[in-house]
Structure 1
């Protein structure tokens, strides 16, 4: 017996949720594998604490302790809490999050859009349990128009917003970079939301730790949505769950294995796959379909994918899901398997064969993404955490730690592979997680030869403060000229990785709510100038007052031309293009077959830099790199320009 799509949705909490691609396969499965779900303990007797406020007789439960989440008991005309959406590649995907429903209430949500002044229903979906989310997928979506929408439940409950058109006509695309929304500070986030409404970003990126409720994700996710729904409702958003979202203190995903060690340094997920999948379904189902949706161990789903907004292409990584855990793999050199405080240790000694960072699936995806420039002017990589350990003090101003393996600076070989692909794609990197906002220029072989990275501050920093504070209290070589910050320049992190510190936002006083250095990042992509401006706004700033409100050291403007900081050994002959073609150029080293870089050129000429002797092949195209091939070009200082034409 085949499962209909409607029946599959009812049973989805008993299966792994992998989105439409896997859904098509799952429809050929039989229902005999689905186990009954206990509405009071959907994750089993061993994990009856999971999502306890949103299951069973939830209306009789009262949260205990300090800093409790908002009540899940609301007037029935308010049960649609909020919605998140993306629209890309002709597909609208939207997740509507509902408050828990009572047994006699229909588990059905409807999506309506406004056409010619009239509301028209375009989709209806089951409200899934556990999690109380509904997921709408609309094919053949016209992304060139802005369309009002509303999600409805029953006769009276409604959440309204606007599905924005793809802003391809805008020269500047603005992205808000956010993470780490402390649940110890309850209530509204009106200071941040008011700023964001004024700054009007085209895209919201929440890098992780949207909630720290751990075992109560539905309550925490609804809390997050209530805090940010005024800005969520009218623009696309990317949400990527991190360790605290799935209920863990730290996460080394180990391809989905079960973690059993306190602190999870053995690698894997500590809670059932069904709980992890519920979290991912609520936060990330609305992202564009993954190009490689196969589940990992225990049926845990993946969501890594890409998304274009206004001609800027965003690669969305899951940088912890495949990563190796350190416990049992490297010697313990600190109070925990993931903390190193031994000043005599050799960083190379922990970069062992077989250790994984992104994993082969994501590396392949990242490489393919970097070479696809159709309808793209600029590129950006998004992940949960940073590709370095740009932190000295952890937890307190005296809590110095030499190295923390809970960052993408380890394993170092995995870091190198990831940064090489990001550099090859001429992309900038945005992330969160670290609670300390920094801008760095990564070094791969030499200082400054890698891409730029911008880590956002914690939205609300009442969980764990961090500081950049070199032990000798001196700047590194090549400090930022005229910076108001004393400790910029070239440094090695505790894992031996080369970084050039450009700006950091230390908390002046972690005990003072207004001096915790929390806030958010704002990133402006200028397609015409091929520059990116990085802004960092304190939580209690007033964006209407201008740049003087930003953290010292910001704003920072970087150029795509500087993303690859390697020193060229020479240049190929100058390429000249017809006015307005703005072609894509890819340079390949003939002897190795390595792609050096792929980028779109704005202008009528480009002289490709190369980083090794020998001949190189140049691929060109107006849309992609498949229209013209210039074979075996050699370094030639006095060569005549090459006129390039396109069919």
Structure 2
């Protein structure tokens, strides 16, 4: 049967399918599996995913529309659009994304690995509809080897890639940090892809807004995959959806409630849970299993989790899903419920009891994660957006906004709780969303006492320009020495949060794609010296040439400086006799707070404390579950004489 140039002849069976009969196809035979409905989200939401539903092949490619999505009716040898995967603790998870299939085509997708000189089939998975994705899970994966794989459909469709070995012995680990891939600029991303392939990152992180095709996620997701498949096919890739991926201009998820306003400011999701789950399945199924999989309201799934790769433990967060919406909770002080422009407002007046950011479930996860160092030497945080409002101009270079409640700088109290956990393990935060690349040193109680954060620029920024531009046009305290940028240093954002700006990449001309600050970030972790270098590359740069990064980059930080608190005293170093790299934890006996937890990779060093009191030190191989000493008081200066400990079996 030839589908290269003609629609499927098997119309009667398809007509039955689209009227609601449960129908699936395997090997050319009908089997009872998934419904194949023309309006899978109901009559009210008939426009959702319509390009890839029903009699999709009857939709003619748009003519003379430069922003139209790609043609989904491809030759049948090309129906596998792309695949992406992660590995955590020897579990490989891989998702394959297909173009829509005709009703008489098989719904089976096969995963094969190349071993001992031949291709060996591992398993067969059924395509899920709506969405046309297939998913594979491989237990007991040997991550010490690189193994070619291929995904197959029918007789001729093949997508090939490589499962990389875990780079646990590499001195440097490169993480690409990307977000905000405008759908108004269609076609490929050759300039970005070429640079990424040359830089050869060990891990890809797409922080959200992979597509802006709000109601057509499958078409937009395939479009994104076609743009980046030649880099994601052969290395672990983290993709997490942000507001535009699920069809929102902004998103305050409020635990999954039904949003009633088109701006979503009342909190919740305004598209049905089935559509949100479709987006999450396509973008996040291949991530490690959720650490707390209980769905939120209305059956919307969760995916917050952790990934250990190259001895880095990445906490992958959902910073939209549980966050409170501003409407009806705070007074309106600007043109929108989430925009504040009243110069007389007090930031404390909007930091109200009961407002959520990460939510209790994710905060609980982070507390457990902070003391679990299995498979890792360092920790990082990955989420959609920044824990501050490091932006002054929104939309245009003269459109000043005092405070934006869409960022993670609000609500302030749960923001501070999150940063306190993050700094206790000396973790760096990577994120996107803001359309403005910045490197920030957060302050919690005092300026610069928190962790570093690197917000990536927009990959392709045709949607919304942003600028860092203090009104007095002066640097803050403690500016970056010799920076080419005029406005670095310590500031307060419009929400009252303390931030130190180390670098920013303002657009020069938002109308010119080569001057609107499109690009991406790279975080280079140097494990031998415990440093991270932040690189920020313009979209049309050449990574093989010198001085191509945005002005102000690269920036190198010490991982230890993610805890920027000033010590008021010191506890003795700990030397574990029977473990070269123990995990050390310091806990306050007054508050029960975890002060710090880290893997000791070199010479034992004195442990800093930041308020007077009594402390407990705990140690362990991967978890600090053995008490060394309680009731410890600090001394004024670091001491070199270590307490010797033998770990109990």
User: Structure 1 residue 375: deviation in Å?
Assistant: 2.2
Q: Any residues of structure 2 matched to 1:330-345 within 5 Å, and which? A: 330-345=330-345
Q: Any residues of structure 2 matched to 1:260-409 within 5 Å, and which? A: 260-409=260-409
Following the alignment from structure 1 to structure 2, what is the Cα–Cα distance between the partners of residues 351 and 636? 37
* 1:149 alignment partner in structure 2: 149
Following the alignment from structure 1 to structure 2, what is the Cα–Cα distance between the partners of residues 256 and 577? 47
Q: Is the 8 A contact 1:536 1:555 kept in 2?
A: yes
User: Structure 1 residue 404: deviation in Å?
Assistant: 0.6
Q: Is the 8 A contact 1:251 1:268 kept in 2?
A: yes
* 1:619 alignment partner in structure 2: 618
Following the alignment from structure 2 to structure 1, what is the Cα–Cα distance between the partners of residues 238 and 640? 47
* 1:39 alignment partner in structure 2: 37
* 1:19 alignment partner in structure 2: none
Q: Is the 8 A contact 1:293 1:303 kept in 2?
A: yes
Change in Cα spacing, 1:155 to 1:521, as seen in structure 2 (3 Å) is same
* 2:229 alignment partner in structure 1: 229
Q: Is the 8 A contact 1:572 1:635 kept in 2?
A: yes
Higher mean displacement: 439-448 or 583-592: 583-592
Following the alignment from structure 2 to structure 1, what is the Cα–Cα distance between the partners of residues 565 and 90? 38
User: Structure 1 residue 577: deviation in Å?
Assistant: 5.2
Q: Is the 8 A contact 1:96 1:135 kept in 2?
A: yes
Following the alignment from structure 2 to structure 1, what is the Cα–Cα distance between the partners of residues 423 and 60? 51
User: Structure 1 residue 573: deviation in Å?
Assistant: 2.1
Q: Give CA deviations for 1:474-505 in whole Å, capped at 9, x if unaligned.
A: 11111111110000011010111100000000
Higher mean displacement: 618-627 or 306-315: 618-627
Q: Is the 8 A contact 2:91 2:139 kept in 1?
A: yes
Change in Cα spacing, 1:640 to 1:174, as seen in structure 2 (3 Å) is closer
* 1:582 alignment partner in structure 2: 581
Question: What is the number of equivalent residue pairs in this alignment?
Answer: 617
Following the alignment from structure 1 to structure 2, what is the Cα–Cα distance between the partners of residues 198 and 644? 47
Q: Is the partner of 1:144 in helix, strand or coil?
A: coil
Q: Any residues of structure 2 matched to 1:2-21 within 5 Å, and which? A: none
1:76 and 2:76 matched: yes
* 2:159 alignment partner in structure 1: 159
Following the alignment from structure 1 to structure 2, what is the Cα–Cα distance between the partners of residues 329 and 209? 27
Higher mean displacement: 619-628 or 317-326: 619-628
1:595 and 2:594 matched: yes
Where do 5+ consecutive residues of structure 1 fail to align? 1-9, 16-31
Q: Is the 8 A contact 1:82 1:225 kept in 2?
A: yes
Q: Is the 8 A contact 1:577 1:604 kept in 2?
A: no
Q: Any residues of structure 2 matched to 1:353-502 within 5 Å, and which? A: 353-502=353-502
Among residues 48, 51, 75, which one is paired with 2:49 in the alignment? Answer: 51
* 2:214 alignment partner in structure 1: 214
1:558 and 2:542 matched: no
User: Structure 1 residue 38: deviation in Å?
Assistant: 5.9
Q: Is the partner of 2:181 in helix, strand or coil?
A: coil
Superposed structure 1 runs of 4+ greater than 3 Å apart: 63-66, 574-580, 637-640
RMSD of aligned alpha carbons: 1.8
Following the alignment from structure 2 to structure 1, what is the Cα–Cα distance between the partners of residues 622 and 38? 54
* 2:14 alignment partner in structure 1: none
Q: Any residues of structure 2 matched to 1:126-275 within 5 Å, and which? A: 126-275=126-275
User: Structure 1 residue 262: deviation in Å?
Assistant: 2.2
User: Structure 1 residue 637: deviation in Å?
Assistant: 4.2
User: Structure 1 residue 156: deviation in Å?
Assistant: 0.4
Q: Give CA deviations for 1:401-456 in whole Å, capped at 9, x if unaligned.
A: 11110000000111011111111121000000000000000000110001101000
Q: Give CA deviations for 1:49-105 in whole Å, capped at 9, x if unaligned.
A: 001110111111035454001100100000000001011112110000000000010
Q: Is the 8 A contact 1:53 1:63 kept in 2?
A: no
Q: What's the TM-score once normalised by structure 1's chain length?
A: 0.93
Q: Give CA deviations for 1:383-418 in whole Å, capped at 9, x if unaligned.
A: 000000000000100111111100000001110111
Change in Cα spacing, 1:14 to 1:129, as seen in structure 2 (3 Å) is farther
1:570 and 2:569 matched: yes
Q: Give CA deviations for 1:24-69 in whole Å, capped at 9, x if unaligned.
A: xxxxxxxx9x9x9461100000000001110111111035454001
Q: Give CA deviations for 1:516-575 in whole Å, capped at 9, x if unaligned.
A: 1010000011112111111100000111114x1111111111112211111111111233
Q: Is the 8 A contact 1:579 1:603 kept in 2?
A: no
Q: Give CA deviations for 1:152-176 in whole Å, capped at 9, x if unaligned.
A: 0001000000000111111111100
Q: Is the 8 A contact 1:492 1:498 kept in 2?
A: yes
Following the alignment from structure 1 to structure 2, what is the Cα–Cα distance between the partners of residues 465 and 317? 25
* 2:644 alignment partner in structure 1: 644
Change in Cα spacing, 1:170 to 1:401, as seen in structure 2 (3 Å) is same
Following the alignment from structure 1 to structure 2, what is the Cα–Cα distance between the partners of residues 250 and 579? 52
* 1:629 alignment partner in structure 2: 628
Q: Any residues of structure 2 matched to 1:66-145 within 5 Å, and which? A: 66-145=66-145
User: Structure 1 residue 185: deviation in Å?
Assistant: 0.5
User: Structure 1 residue 642: deviation in Å?
Assistant: 2.4
User: Structure 1 residue 631: deviation in Å?
Assistant: 2.4
* 1:526 alignment partner in structure 2: 526
Where do 5+ consecutive residues of structure 2 fail to align? 1-16, 23-31
User: Structure 1 residue 617: deviation in Å?
Assistant: 1.1
Q: Is the 8 A contact 1:580 1:604 kept in 2?
A: no
Q: Is the partner of 1:180 in helix, strand or coil?
A: strand
Q: Is the partner of 2:235 in helix, strand or coil?
A: coil
* 2:10 alignment partner in structure 1: none
Q: Is the partner of 1:549 in helix, strand or coil?
A: coil
Change in Cα spacing, 1:502 to 1:446, as seen in structure 2 (3 Å) is same
Following the alignment from structure 2 to structure 1, what is the Cα–Cα distance between the partners of residues 109 and 358? 36
Higher mean displacement: 407-416 or 368-377: 368-377
Q: What's the TM-score once normalised by structure 2's chain length?
A: 0.93
